[in-house]
Chain A
Amino acid sequence: MNRLLSVRGLKVGFGRGNAAKTVVHGVDFDLEPGETLAIVGESGSGKSVTALSINRLIDDGGGRILGGRMEFTTARGEVIDLACATDRRMETIRGSEIGMIFQEPMTSLNPVIPIGRQIEEAFRLQRGLGRAAARLETLNALERVRIPDAERRLGYYPHQLSGGMLQRVMIAMALAANPRLLIADEPTTALDVSVQAQIMALLAELRRETGTGMIFITHDMGLVAGIADRVLVMIAGRVVEQGRLDDIFDRPRHPYTQHLLQAVPHFSHGRKVRRHMSPAGREMARPALKVEGLTVRFPATAGLLRRPVGAIHAVEGIGFDVMPGETLAVVGESGSGKSTTARALLGLVKPSSGTFSVMSAEGLARRKPMQMVFQNPYASLNPRLDVEGLLAEPVLAGGVRPDASTRQRMVALLERVGLPADSLRRFPHEFSGGQRQRLCIARALMVDPSVLVLDEAVSALDVSVQARVLDLLIDLQNELKLAYLFVSHDMAVVERIAHRIAVLYAGRIVEIGRADAVLSNPRHDYTRRLIAAVPTTERRRDVFRLETAAVPSLLRPRGYEPPEAVWQVCGEDHQVLVERAAAAKEIR
């Protein structure tokens, strides 16, 4: 049997004439049928460009293949050089021989056409099926990607489905014609951990079932371990290392590969957590932030007349306290209410009930004592203000006119977060993602807060940048005795920074306690599931199991009041919510 794909000396460039720029400088690799190759590298390393060159979508993106051969063996045994195949030829190959999954499922689907119709179209184009036959195949395809209740979902529009479901739809479409090669370009980057694990499991299972060869592009070494047979590491358009998975992971030769492996936050089940103060000491201290019974409900309406039918109980009776110099991590998947909690504390959404109080570090509430750092550093800085204007914002909001001392503080803070002092006159677009997040941190620190709410503050960053920003946060905390409320879905990151952890599920805290206790001895089912979904470099190949349990609906009928939460204490500073079914059993 022939090789599926053999790439030799692939060179790709963008632009013409003076502006021409080569971004991929001679890439070689082979792929056997049914094999999975992971292409790893940080943003801008040319990994996506390489993949897009294989199905020649790069032509539409303004790129050009400058040299090299890409020999692809079709199902009929023909060998085609994809580098110089005609457009018409490529059209027959794309989809039917080479399928592709993109990073953003939301933007890859047409928002105004039901998903059933979109998948049907793929079948009709690829296999020339009639309407009824295509419909039947579509149903099968949806079941193949484990979409529950497939028949009803055919009529759904993309916005009615979650990100994970949409990515499944994309996979179903990519597999419509049983392609021999599937290119997955960061298919899980936009999803959160537990959904990511589901998609990875699906890909692994489909590969076993269909024997499709796969090229998997990612920047996350942790994911590679679970799925790849072979790994190719790229840096600045060149391959610096390639080989079998175990060789690369156990004996990385190139310093960059070693760096990438080290940058993966290693999750060690709570062995590496930070210690702060003893539970006894905590009892004595005055909390910097104290939250009691925080509840946020959004009214839900139905029908033409917007009749109120109930309420979405986004956050339900949450209570915790955070000491100065301590990090409380709030973990959970999207829809668990963790961001709503953060937003309620900052006054961005109105809580329905509950109280919270903030104590400034020195006991005097001089200025706004709580500040927030957002997830997306690209969106949370006004692109039209320069750094000086951005940093002045919280000061201006406090009604203070910026003066020379403000400016001094700006320079000092910029230096403290590791940005050049001449940044003041520059604009956000001149900074990288990591630098922008540093800028956001500096902005939040302008008014001496005692509590910093970090809403997925490092989730949007590359792994190595992530590690450095975390270090900065830890240093700042130690220095300024800041209390952090660290909202995250990434258990490995949480392990590095948290002293205590609160696990949120369906708007309620289901487990809270010391980080080492929660991570090493998770008591709630959901906590265990979250921890099981963490990808690591130690667990290799097919460790992802398919989990279809969805987040339960938070819509409650009018006037519904949840029963009192029952807590079970399981060790020093570690308690878990007793689920209602279990509680009922105990009472009986």
Chain B
Amino acid sequence: MNRFLTRLLDHSSGRIGGVIVLAYILIALAAQAGLTPYDPLQQFRIERLQGPSLAHWMGTDMFGRDVLSRLMIGIGQSFLVAFSSVGIAALAGTLLGLTAAWFGHLWDGLVMRLMDVLLAFPAILLALLFIAVVGPGTFTSILAIAFVYTPIFTRVVRGPALSLKARDFVDAARTFGSSTSYILSRHLMLNLVAPLTVQVTLALAWSLLTESGLSFLGLGTQPPASSLGLMLSDSVNLMEMAPWLLVFPGLAIMIGILGFNLLGDALRDILDPRSRRALA
């Protein structure tokens, strides 16, 4: 573990990405612990729609709530949704993709045609459909987003798994008499780490955006709670009057996604033994 950390810190994009992601986690935790400058729900009626100042670093919104406080809470909420949904999608997609590739035939056909059908719908439409059936809320939006991104993970896993399945080392393992679950978990999964990390970092970014979209439509995070997407959607009508309402959540999303991508790149490099030499 220690070696892993030093290697992460040696990697330049790992350093930057790691710091960003760590900072976001700390902010989210602090917000949950109540360490915000103001109560994010408190409305300072007199100070509505004020620009950034010493008292309110990021200004106030149309109800006079402190933007910085809401942003801190929103980061937690957004990332909770993004992480959980991508986690579920990656798990389900990997399982489906691996078994589809390995067992082939009917199971492969069944799984992949289903995934094709899901892929044919635009992500947001599919999520809307899901929410329409289950009802809005944080938990359902997590499930909806996971549902939407599962087919992508399935595809991403199945392709390389198919080619790995035909590699000699898999045959070699079979000649030793290794069990199927061992081959799947060790030989296939180990080699799928690279495509999966890339996909996870991309999907984190997308799911942040999808969550914003759902919140914008009023189906994701429900006010008065806050999420980055909800803040963005609230600010749209006031864009010309109060640009700070748009700029700060936008920046938060952008930097967060950048952090994930950098960290993902670094992880992919570090987890690949072939690049170990070059890094050392």
Contact = CB atoms under 8 A, between A and B. Distances in A.
Interface of A: 343, 346-348, 368, 370-372, 374-376, 379-386, 393-394, 396-398, 427, 429-430, 440, 443, 447
B177 A368 contact: yes
Given A393-B178, A397-B177, A398-B177, A382 B169 contact: yes
Contact of A382 (B174, B191, B272, B277): B191
Given A371-B176, A380-B172, 10 more contacts: A348-B175, A368-B176, A374-B171, A381-B169, A382-B191, A385-B190, A397-B177, A398-B176, A398-B177, A429-B274
23 contacts: A346-B174, A347-B175, A348-B175, A379-B167, A379-B168, A380-B172, A381-B169, A381-B172, A382-B187, A382-B191, A383-B273, A383-B274, A384-B190, A384-B273, A385-B190, A393-B172, A393-B173, A394-B176, A396-B182, A397-B176, A397-B179, A398-B176, A429-B274
Contacts of B191: 382-384
B276 interface: yes
Contacts of A393: 172-173, 176, 178
B179 A380 contact: no
Interface in B187-216: 187, 190-191, 193
Contacts of B167: 379
Given A393-B178, A398-B177, A427-B274, A380 B190 contact: no
A244 to B, nearest CB: 43
Interface of B: 167-169, 171-179, 182, 186-187, 190-191, 193, 272-274, 276-277
Contacts of A343: 171
Contacts of A382: 169, 186-187, 190-191
Contacts of B182: 396-397
Contacts of B169: 379-382
Contacts of B174: 346-348
Nearest to A368: B177
A443 B175 CA distance: 12
A520 to B, nearest CB: 35
Nearest to B187: A382
A240 B206 CA distance: 60
Nearest to A390: B169
Contact of B171 (A380, A386, A429, A443): A380
A372 B175 contact: yes
Contact of B168 (A376, A394, A398): A376
Contact of B175 (A346, A379, A383, A429): A346
A427 B191 CA distance: 14
Q: Which 10 A-B pairs have the closest CB atoms?
A: A380-B168, A397-B176, A397-B178, A379-B168, A427-B273, A394-B176, A384-B190, A346-B175, A382-B169, A397-B177
A237 to B, nearest CB: 23
A386 B273 CA distance: 9
Contact of B277 (A385, A394, A430): A430
Most chain A CB atoms below 10 A, which of B167, B178, B193, B273: B273
B60 to A, nearest CB: 52
Nearest to A426: B273
Given A379-B168, A383-B273, A397-B182, A371 B175 contact: yes
Contacts of B173: 393, 397
A348 B187 CA distance: 17
Contacts of A384: 190-191, 193, 272-273
B278 to A, nearest CB: 11
A251 B29 CA distance: 80
A14 to B, nearest CB: 16
Nearest to B275: A429
Given A348-B171, A374-B172, A384-B190, A427 B177 contact: no
A371 B176 CA distance: 7
B168 A374 contact: yes
A201 B171 CA distance: 37
A380 B186 CA distance: 14
Contacts of A429: 273-274
Contacts of A375: 168
Contacts of A374: 168, 171-172
A105 B191 CA distance: 29
A483 B148 CA distance: 56
A424 to B, nearest CB: 14
Most chain A CB atoms below 10 A, which of B167, B172, B273: B172
Contacts of B172: 372, 374, 380-381, 393, 440, 443
Nearest to A375: B168
Contacts of A385: 186, 190
A368 B177 CA distance: 8
A440 B175 CA distance: 13
Most chain A CB atoms below 10 A, which of B168, B171, B175: B175
Contacts of B274: 383, 427, 429
A397 B183 CA distance: 10
Most chain A CB atoms below 10 A, which of B177, B187, B191, B193: B177
Nearest to B193: A384
A384 B190 CA distance: 7
A399 to B, nearest CB: 9
Nearest to A381: B169
A347 B191 CA distance: 24
Contacts of B175: 346-348, 370-372
A350 to B, nearest CB: 12
Contacts of B190: 382, 384-385
Contacts of B272: 384
B194 to A, nearest CB: 9
Contacts of B168: 374-376, 379-380
A394 B178 CA distance: 7
A71 to B, nearest CB: 40
A315 B207 CA distance: 53
Contacts of B171: 343, 348, 374, 380
A98 to B, nearest CB: 36
Contacts of B273: 383-384, 386, 427, 429
Contacts of A383: 191, 273-274
B209 to A, nearest CB: 32
A288 to B, nearest CB: 17
A543 to B, nearest CB: 35
A189 to B, nearest CB: 19
Nearest to A398: B177
Nearest to A389: B186
B77 to A, nearest CB: 36
Most chain B CB atoms below 10 A, which of A374, A397, A429, A447: A397
A393 B178 CA distance: 8
Nearest to B164: A382
B273 to A, nearest CB: 4
A427 B276 contact: yes
A427 B193 CA distance: 17
Contacts of A396: 178, 182
A370 B174 CA distance: 12
A375 B272 CA distance: 24
